[in-house]
């Protein structure tokens, strides 16, 4: 058995275990990730955020001294980006004195993400472009709904379906999609309805984690897909000065998505616990 210092946090109840490993001395195995994220045997989380120096990530070509968010889903799989996770990641770095805000650059597998700690405590993240595909796909849910879905790339893949009532969708099992080749590495499936002008409600089934209380990149995908389909044109045509702001409600809270020449996600980030994690000997790397 060995121990590791950890923190636990969430962004609109999308929850994460945070590990600081600046010099990449303690790698994570898939079994360790699954055990840590287990809500009965471990700490419980939708994923793990490991803070390492960029130089230790082979696919990172940016500043080698920058903090890199090495994100793992609850099943051990690697994800390119996590919009809620990056806010919690920054909150932890700031609270621990590892960075000085309000502006904090973060490396991710989807590229560099600039973040800003706002005076009210929320964190605003530049999310990169939200690319809405021209051709729809179909998503099949566990309750046999065959839904049209809009593919959106936010550094990771999404399939956004518009429905009358997201709460009625059965998400106990993972949705499937066709054509299968549309998302060879899997997809995050969002189910979205309108609750008023620029006000959306969303549920999500995340690849590698199941249904979560929120998905940051998913809220961006939802707003981008809705705006594209209901305002006759690509999101990127909106001028920065006239960026549109969507409120997106998820089961875990509310975030704001700004769509313009650049896309931003703003929402809360909370650290709820710090402690010592005792890794069983059978799970040692």
User: Which residues have a catalytic role annotated?
Assistant: 82, 215
Please indicate, yes or no, whether residues 176 and 82 belong to a single structural domain of this protein. no
Please indicate, yes or no, whether residues 34 and 98 belong to a single structural domain of this protein. yes
Please indicate, yes or no, whether residues 142 and 77 belong to a single structural domain of this protein. no
Number of domains in the chain: 2
Please indicate, yes or no, whether residues 224 and 273 belong to a single structural domain of this protein. no
Annotated ligand binding at 29? The verdict is no
Q: Which residues on neighbouring strands pair with residue 53, listed in sequence order?
A: 67
Please indicate, yes or no, whether residues 225 and 166 belong to a single structural domain of this protein. yes
Please indicate, yes or no, whether residues 83 and 101 belong to a single structural domain of this protein. yes
- pLDDT tens digits, 44-96: 999 999 999 999 999 999 999 999 999 999 999 999 999 999 999 999 999 99
Annotated ligand binding at 96? The verdict is no
Please indicate, yes or no, whether residues 120 and 136 belong to a single structural domain of this protein. no
Domain CATH for 227: 3.10.310.10
Domain that holds residue 213: 131-262
Please indicate, yes or no, whether residues 190 and 276 belong to a single structural domain of this protein. no
Please indicate, yes or no, whether residues 222 and 237 belong to a single structural domain of this protein. yes
Residue 237: which pLDDT band, with cuts at 50, 70 and 90?
A: very low
Residue 236: which pLDDT band, with cuts at 50, 70 and 90?
A: very low
- pLDDT tens digits, 163-175: 999 999 999 999 9
Please indicate, yes or no, whether residues 42 and 158 belong to a single structural domain of this protein. no
Instruction: Produce one character per residue of 100-113: b if its CB has 16 or more CB atoms within 10 Å, e if not.
Output: eeeebbbbbbbebb
Instruction: Write down the mean pLDDT value for the chain.
Output: 94
Annotated ligand binding at 188? The verdict is yes
pTM listed for this prediction: 0.93
Annotated ligand binding at 141? The verdict is no
Annotated ligand binding at 266? The verdict is no
Please indicate, yes or no, whether residues 140 and 78 belong to a single structural domain of this protein. no
pLDDT at 232: 52
Annotated ligand binding at 12? The verdict is no
Please indicate, yes or no, whether residues 137 and 224 belong to a single structural domain of this protein. yes
């Amino acid at each position: 058995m060995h121990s590791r210092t950890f923190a636990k946090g969430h962004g609109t109840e999308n929850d994460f275990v945070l590990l600081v490993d600046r010099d990449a001395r303690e790698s994570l195995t898939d079994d360790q990730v699954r055990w840590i994220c287990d809500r009965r045997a471990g700490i419980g989380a939708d994923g793990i955020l490991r803070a390492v120096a960029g130089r230790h990530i082979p696919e990172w070509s940016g500043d080698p001294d920058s903090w890199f968010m090495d994100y793992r889903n609850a099943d051990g799989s690697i994800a390119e980006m996590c919009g809620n996770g990056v806010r919690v990641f920054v909150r932890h770095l700031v609270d621990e004195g590892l960075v000085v805000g309000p502006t904090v650059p973060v490396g991710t597998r989807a590229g560099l993400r600039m973040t800003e700690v706002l005076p009210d405590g929320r964190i605003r993240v530049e999310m990169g472009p939200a690319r809405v595909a021209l051709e729809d796909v179909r998503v099949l849910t566990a309750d046999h709904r065959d839904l049209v879905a809009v593919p959106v790339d936010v550094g990771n893949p999404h399939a956004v379906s518009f429905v009358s009532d997201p709460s009625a969708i059965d998400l106990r099992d993972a949705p499937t999609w066709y054509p299968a080749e549309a998302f060879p590495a899997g997809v995050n499936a969002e189910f979205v309805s309108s609750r008023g002008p620029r006000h959306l409600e969303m549920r999500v089934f995340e690849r590698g984690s199941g249904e979560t209380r929120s998905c940051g990149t998913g809220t961006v995908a939802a707003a981008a897909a809705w705006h594209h389909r209901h305002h006759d044109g690509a999101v990127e045509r909106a001028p920065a000065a006239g960026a549109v702001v969507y409120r997106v409600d998820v089961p875990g809270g509310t975030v704001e998505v700004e769509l313009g020449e650049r896309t931003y996600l703003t929402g809360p980030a909370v650290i709820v616990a710090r402690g010592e994690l005792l890794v069983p000997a059978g799970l040692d790397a």
